[in-house]
Structure 1
Amino acid sequence: MQLLESKVLLDRIIKGCCKRRRKSQKKLYKMFYGYGMSITLRYAESREEAAEILNDAFMKVFTNIKDFDIDKPFKPWLRRIIINTAINHYHRTKKYREMDNVDFAEQSLSTREQILPGISYDEIIEMVQQLTPAYRTVFNLYVIEGFKHREIAEMLGIAVGTSKSNLAKAKRNLQAILEKNFM
């Protein structure tokens, strides 16, 4: 019953957004802010950058909400817009950022197993934010979002081999960050 009420409420809010009602837009924003931030934090270097990406994503949502099919689930549609906005942000800012070319040494699996259980979600996000934009973006798209290297390469305009290399380097760098912070 409560799920049905939530769907009805969401449908009403979406219809209000289609009519460009500020009150409906504000409700939708508040309703999905936490969900959106949980996605953008993984792509951004800071909370401020994540909020900027999320705000850009919501602008796209409000601009294109009339194209949303009300009979389909809203969250996957929103998620796709947020991820695409994060990728666009990466493309816009990559020329201004310095790439970190330091490769960390391989670490043993047993060390990783010892330190992972005591880490909070916020600590993991903070460590992922320390990765270079290229490594962080590929890591998120592959590990968190579940895209294949071919899809990532197309989205980012890079070679499949570069996607694989960036993922391997991201994992090595994360492991080194883990050991530095928790050993």
Structure 2
Amino acid sequence: MRSTKQLHHKLIKECKNQNAKAQLQLYKTYAKGMLLVANRYMKDIHLAEDVMQDAFIKAFKNIDSYKEEVSFGAWLKRIVINQSIDELKKNKLAMVSINEEVLNVVDDGNWEVDDEVTSEMVINTINQLKDKYRLVLTLYLIEGYDHNEISQILGITEVTSRTHLMRGKKLVKEQLKIKNHAEGY
């Protein structure tokens, strides 16, 4: 019996040879997961579907650049994230840079919330933030990117990424406190 890694290697090799069946098989394997990733950014399932489709087209068009240094899923996920952000930028997403000399950002690293707060509540609260905060929080907390990577992906400075993370975190905590107090009455 073949391992999943061997099967992926064979499918990717076939995709590099423009084999439509292999492309369809890879698409079926990753579509649901990549749709979830796109939807975290787009906040609209129909836009997320479009972004995901465009990302797969881009991936198959550029599959020769995939060198198997990371898993195919990780490589594809990066394409989906970049495609999502490109789409948001196209839709006039305004990323405001902060004057680096004026602002000295200190992140206290405290991500603790009340025990009653669920991860679903945190994600829902993040999804209600302005895009500049939502994108940085999503890339940092959910996708696991660091500020250097976020700055490259979004085309902002690392200081701006840290600032958006700090302000977004503060907004999330405030919203969660308001929700918890409202439910407590």
Asked if these proteins are the same fold (TM beyond 0.5), I'd say yes
Q: CA deviation at 1:49?
A: 2.4
SS in 2 for 1:28: helix
Residues 132-153 of structure 1: per-residue CA shift (max 9 Å, x gap): 2211111122222333324322
Q: 2:142 aligns with which of 136, 141, 144?
A: 144
- Deviations along 1:5-64, one digit per CA (max 9) or x if unpaired, are 322322232223222232222211110112212322322222222222222211111111
Residues 64-85 of structure 1 show CA distances to partners (whole Å, capped at 9, x for unaligned) of 1122225753222222222222
Q: Is the 8 A contact 2:54 2:83 kept in 1?
A: yes
| Post-superposition CA distance 1:69-112 (Å, at most 9, x none) | 257532222222222222222322234x7x9xxxxxxxxx9x93
**TM-score, normalised with respect to structure 1:** 0.73
> Which residue of structure 1 aligns with residue 87 of structure 2?
89
Rounded Cα–Cα distance in structure 2 between residues aligned with 1:166 and 1:91: 17
Contact 1:142 1:148 in 2 (8 A): yes
Gapped runs of 5+ residues in structure 1?
100-108
Does structure 1 conserve the Cα–Cα contact (< 8 Å) formed by 2:122 and 2:172?
A: no
Q: 1:132 aligns with which of 130, 134, 142?
A: 130
Cα distance in 2 for residues equivalent to 1:78 and 1:40: 11
**Which has the larger share of helix?**
1
Distance 1:162 1:21, change over 3 A: same
Structure 2 stretches lacking a partner, 5+ long = 97-109
Q: Secondary structure at the match of 1:112?
A: coil
Give the Cα separation in 2 of the matches to 1:86 and 1:21: 26
Rounded Cα–Cα distance in structure 2 between residues aligned with 1:93 and 1:154: 19
Question: Which of 68-77 and 130-139 deviates more?
Answer: 68-77
Partner of 1:162: 160
After superposition, the Cα gap between the structure-2 partners of 1:92 and 1:47, relative to the gap in structure 1 and judged at 3 Å, is same
Q: Which residue of 2 aligns with 1:60?
A: 58
Q: For this pair of structures, how many residues does the alignment match?
A: 167
Relative contact order (alpha carbons < 8 A, sep ≥ 6): 1 or 2 greater?
1
Q: Aligned to 1:161, what secondary structure does the other structure show? A: helix
* CA root-mean-square deviation: 3.0
Q: TM-score, normalised by structure 2?
A: 0.72
Q: Which residue in 2 is equivalent to 1:104?
A: none
Q: Is the 8 A contact 1:127 1:174 kept in 2?
A: yes
Match of 2:115 in 1: 114
